[in-house]
Amino acid sequence: MPRVFFGLEVPDTVKKRLLALQGPVKGAKWQNRNQLHLTLAFLGTVDEARVADLCQAAGGVEAPAFELAVTGLHTFGRPELPRNLWAGVSGDEALRSLQRQLAGLLSEAGFEAGHSGFQPHITIARFRKQAGSVAPLLDEHGDRSFGPMPVTEFVLFESTPGETGSVYSVIERFPLAGPLDETGTHDQ
- Exposed/middle/buried for residue 89 (C-beta within 10 Å: 0-12, 13-18, 19+): buried
Q: 3-class SS at 101?
A: helix
Q: Among residues 165, 164, 168, which one has the least CA distance to residue 8?
A: 168
- Exposed/middle/buried for residue 122 (C-beta within 10 Å: 0-12, 13-18, 19+): buried
Element (H, E) at 95: helix 93-108
Known catalytic residues? Answer: 37, 121
